[in-house]
Amino acid sequence: MNNPSIPSPDAETSLEALKALVRQRNLLAALRVFHAHMGEIFHLKLLSLEAIMLVGPDANRFVLVTHRDKFLWRNEADPVVALLREGVLVTDGDMHDMLRRQMNPSLHRKALTGYVEGMWRATDAITSQWPGTAASIEMLAEMRKITLLTLVESLFRVDLMPDLERMWQPILKSIAYISPGLWLLWPGVPRPGYAARLKTMNDYLYAIIQQRRAVFDAENAEDLLGLLIAGGLDDDSIRDQLLTILIAGHDTSTALLTWVLYLLTTHPETLHRAQAEVDTVLGTRPPEMEDLSQLGYLGQVIDETLRLSPPIHLGSRIVAEDLIFNGYTLPAGSRVMYSIYLAHRDPNHWPEPDTFNPDRFSAENKRRILPYAYLPFGGGARNCIGTAFGLVEAKIILARILQQFDLTFTGHPVKLKMGATLEPKPGVRIVARRRVTG
């Protein structure tokens, strides 16, 4: 007996999705319509882009855990492969496992205590330049500066500040290169304007690799760059891992921090509660690793932000061999996409899914969340390698900002933008006034 055909949207559903897309100017709005009408599996076809969409806890577990070895991450047609080459994010099998083992110690929770001071010092370095008056500040750019300084200092042992202005456009170009665009609909489309910026990015990474090799001390190789050199990787492979961590690591944190600031400033009662907690725990001293467990409500705010606006909102895989999901055949070679964003806003699992409510993640409520209904960092053996680093970084940076500034949103419209991560468009403008007690 043949398996049923995977549902495709009919004309009425397609029209409704198109209206949602035009109204919200976001593909995610159309995907929500398709999900509402067709359930956990449906065909998505836009010109040359064709994929099978899987949605929900069962789908997430299917792709990420029970059948993870039957899916391939690497898709040679995607620009992310051209950019990251043999980076850990786009490799499969033994090579991926080897790279991950070498990189894990620098990102493990045991290593994070040594990064905390650098995190709040990077925050101070950028916020010390804020006007402290009624002038508004574009927080997406400011959070990007902080996360870049934090990541490069912590994991590469390099001070990026002297090169931040020079490297700003190459970093943005690298992100734009892998962001959704015309290449999704027109594979092989010419992409002028990238070569020079990406060369600058490569030259910078190769230079810091050579500088470290010149003074390499195996006994003190505890940071990511040091561990990769100690592991015997050549310069090209090290470059691929550094660029992977640099782009994927800082851009996700940038989006998360900016969304948290947006949601806090548009929900003043939540902001006051989070700020009061920071004042109680820290007073005026800088945050330390031991403080983070006491910043429980700030953690709930971060968790709820990750639910509403997960930086990595879609996952894409290639089916390695024919599979069956819920009675439907997933043919070998087809592209399968699973949606973290749709899972996080599914009304079947989240009451009032579009409402910002950090109390969903109180200790009591958190226990009721269905496994794989919430997975901002992926799941299974290939979950995000930088999860612990990112969560500690977010708490330290946000606590330091709340400790020192009163924040007010300017009231401009903000929409979701599907870039390399899920960003606020056109950014988040906030007035930050330095607190007398900060």
Q: Is 284 exposed, middle or buried (0-12, 13-18, 19+ CB in 10 A)?
A: exposed
Q: What is the pLDDT of residue 302?
A: 98
Q: What is the pLDDT of residue 185?
A: 60
Q: What is the pLDDT of residues 170-220, one digit of tens each?
A: 999 999 988 876 566 666 777 778 899 999 999 999 999 999 999 988 878
CATH code of 3's domain: 3.30.43.20
18, part of any domain:
yes
Split at pLDDT 50, 70, 90, the class of 239 is very high
Split at pLDDT 50, 70, 90, the class of 2 is confident
Q: What is the pLDDT of residue 184?
A: 61
Q: What is the pLDDT of residue 25?
A: 81
191, part of any domain:
no
32, part of any domain:
yes
Tokens, residue 196? 């020079």
Q: What is the pLDDT of residues 326-358, one digit of tens each?
A: 999 999 999 999 999 999 999 999 999 999 999
User: Considering the chain, what percentage of its residues have pLDDT values greater than 90?
Assistant: 79
Split at pLDDT 50, 70, 90, the class of 438 is very low
* Domain count across the chain: 1
Tokens 């879609």 belong to residue = 314
Global pTM reads 0.95
48, part of any domain:
yes
Q: What is the pLDDT of residue 399?
A: 98
Q: What is the pLDDT of residues 372-410, one digit of tens each?
A: 999 999 988 889 999 999 999 999 999 999 999 999 999
Q: What is the pLDDT of residues 288-322, one digit of tens each?
A: 999 999 999 999 999 999 999 999 998 899 999 99
Q: What is the pLDDT of residues 422-431, one digit of tens each?
A: 999 999 999 9
Q: What is the pLDDT of residue 303?
A: 98
227, part of any domain:
no
| 73 CB neighbour count, 10 Å cutoff | 20
27, part of any domain:
yes
Split at pLDDT 50, 70, 90, the class of 47 is low
320, part of any domain:
yes
Over residues 110-119, mean pLDDT:
95
283: alpha, beta or left? (left if phi > 0; alpha if psi -120 to 50): left
Split at pLDDT 50, 70, 90, the class of 437 is low
User: Considering the chain, what percentage of its residues have pLDDT values greater than 70?
Assistant: 97
Decide if 245 contacts 89 (C-beta within 8 A): no
> Domain span at residue 32?
1-72+313-365
81, part of any domain:
no
The rounded mean pLDDT for the chain is: 92
